C-alpha cells in the first residue's frame, strides 16, 4: 500500500463530516521535526486547556481537518500538516455569564427544578445568542453551579448547555426540567433517551384535522434544501425515527387545536410532523404556517388573520405537561402549565370569529366549515 493509500485509510468522507456552520477555533502547522503522533494526542498537547473529551467529540463530529480533509482520531500527524479544529460553540467558560432574569419556577428541590419558559426566550447559547438565554438566567439563579453532562449520550455542545437534558424552541412556551447535579442530569437524560418522559403539547394548526385521533410515524432529518430546518423522510432510509400522537381538542373552522404527545424528541418534531400531514402550525414561518392556508379570500378575513398572527411571537405551540421519575427518590413527578395569556387570546379570537360566521351562514341558510 502506497503512502497516499495509507493516508486515505484515515480520512472520513466529506459528506459524513459535521455541519459547516461551525467556526474555526484553532489552526496549527506541524513542525518539520515532529514525529508521527496520533492527532488526538497532538491536539491534547497543543490545547492544554481543552479537555480530552471535548477534543475527541470534535474529532467524532468531523470538526478536525488536516490539509482541509476530515480525519479520524487514529490519523498520525506528519511534519508540515496544516491542522484546523472547530467546535460546535466556543468554550462556555469564556462566554457564559450569569444574568438576572425573571424565571417562572413552579417546582425546585436539591436535585432539579421545573420551570415554565415563555415564548421568545432562547434556551441555550448559540451563534448570535451568547447572552440573555435561559441558561444565563439559570446560572444566576443557581449561583453558577449548573452541572455539565458527562453522560455517554451527551452531545459535544453540552459544555454550553449546563443543566439541560432537553430543550424547546425559542418561540415555544411551556415546561422544562433542569438538572442541578450530575446524578440528576444523567438520570433524566436516560429517561429522555428511553422515551419514558411524558410530554404533551398544545398546538393550533391550520385546517380542519380529519381524524379525532392520529399517529404520525415518520423519520425526521436535516432538510437538504434548508440547512436550519428539518424535513420528513417517510421512506425511513434517512433521518431518525420520530413518533407523534395527536388528538383533536377543539375545531375552530379553519384552524384546529390539537394535543400532541411525543414518543421521541426530534428537533422541531411537532412542527415538521404536522406540516407533513398537511396541517402546519399557525404562525410558524419556518414551516409555512405564517400565511393564510385556509379561509376566505377577502380583505376582512386577511386582516383578521394578520391580527391573529400579531398576538404571538411565532408558532402556536405550548409544552403543557411534563412527567418523569424523580432521579433521587424515584417518585413520579407530574406538572401542568396553563396556556400563556396571548395564546388564550388567540383562541378566543378564533372562537368569536367562528361563532359570528356560523351565525351569518345560519341566517343565510348556508353552511360554514
Q: Please list the active-site residues.
A: 169
Helix residue ranges per DSSP H, the chain: 3-8, 39-46, 52-60, 92-95, 134-141, 182-193, 269-276, 299-309, 341-364
Among 150, 240, 137, CA closest to 187? 150
Owner of C-alpha cell 478536525: 64
Which cell goes with 47? 490545547
| CA 347/CA 14 separation, integer angstroms | 48
DSSP label of 153: T
| CA 326/CA 322 separation, integer angstroms | 12
Helix residue ranges per DSSP H, 109-226: 134-141, 182-193
189 SS3 class: helix
In terms of DSSP bridges, do strands 173-179 and 317-325 run parallel, antiparallel, or are they unpaired? parallel
Task: Give every CB contact of residue 76 below 8 A, 6+ residues apart in sequence.
Answer: 10, 36, 37, 38, 39
∠ CA 249-253-254, nearest 5°, is: 100
DSSP structure string for 18-60: --TTSEEEEEEE--TTPPPEEHHHHHHHH-TTS-HHHHHHHHH
How many residues are there in the chain?
Answer: 369
Amino acid at each position: 500500500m502506497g503512502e497516499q493509500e495509507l493516508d486515505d485509510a484515515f480520512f472520513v468522507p466529506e459528506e459524513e463530516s459535521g455541519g459547516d456552520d461551525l467556526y474555526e477555533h484553532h489552526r496549527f502547522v506541524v513542525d518539520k521535526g515532529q514525529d508521527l503522533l496520533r492527532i488526538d494526542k497532538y491536539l491534547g498537547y497543543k490545547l492544554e486547556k481543552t479537555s480530552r473529551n471535548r477534543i475527541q467529540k470534535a474529532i467524532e463530529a468531523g470538526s478536525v481537518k488536516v490539509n482541509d480533509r476530515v480525519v479520524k482520531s487514529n490519523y498520525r500527524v506528519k511534519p508540515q500538516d496544516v491542522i484546523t479544529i472547530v467546535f460546535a460553540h466556543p468554550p462556555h467558560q469564556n462566554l457564559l455569564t450569569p444574568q438576572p432574569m425573571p424565571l417562572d419556577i413552579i417546582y425546585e428541590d436539591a436535585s432539579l427544578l421545573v420551570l415554565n419558559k415563555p415564548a421568545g426566550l432562547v434556551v441555550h447559547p448559540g451563534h448570535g445568542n451568547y447572552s440573555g438565554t435561559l441558561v444565563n438566567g439559570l446560572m444566576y439563579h443557581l449561583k453558577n453551579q449548573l452541572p455539565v453532562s458527562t453522560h455517554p449520550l451527551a452531545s459535544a455542545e453540552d459544555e454550553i448547555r449546563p443543566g439541560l437534558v432537553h430543550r424547546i424552541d425559542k418561540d415555544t412556551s411551556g415546561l422544562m426540567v433542569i438538572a442541578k447535579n450530575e446524578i440528576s442530569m444523567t438520570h433524566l437524560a436516560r429517561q429522555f433517551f428511553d422515551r419514558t418522559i411524558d410530554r404533551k403539547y398544545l398546538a393550533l394548526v391550520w385546517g380542519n384535522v380529519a381524524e379525532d385521533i392520529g399517529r404520525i410515524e415518520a423519520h425526521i432529518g436535516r432538510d437538504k434544501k434548508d440547512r436550519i430546518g428539518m424535513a420528513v423522510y417517510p421512506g425511513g432510509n434517512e433521518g431518525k425515527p420520530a413518533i407523534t400522537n395527536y388528538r383533536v381538542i377543539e375545531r375552530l373552522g379553519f384552524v384546529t387545536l390539537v394535543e400532541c404527545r411525543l414518543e421521541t424528541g426530534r428537533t422541531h418534531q411537532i412542527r415538521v410532523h404536522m406540516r407533513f400531514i398537511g396541517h402546519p402550525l399557525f404562525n410558524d414561518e419556518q414551516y409555512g404556517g405564517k400565511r393564510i392556508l385556509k379561509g376566505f379570500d377577502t380583505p376582512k378575513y386577511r386582516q383578521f388573520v394578520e391580527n391573529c398572527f400579531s398576538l404571538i411571537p411565532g408558532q402556536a405551540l405550548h409544552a403543557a405537561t411534563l412527567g418523569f421519575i424523580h432521579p433521587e427518590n424515584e417518585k413520579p413527578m407530574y406538572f401542568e402549565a396553563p396556556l400563556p395569556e396571548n395564546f388564550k387570546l388567540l383562541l378566543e379570537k378564533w372562537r368569536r370569529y367562528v361563532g359570528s360566521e356560523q351565525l351569518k351562514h345560519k341566517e343565510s341558510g348556508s353552511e360554514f366549515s
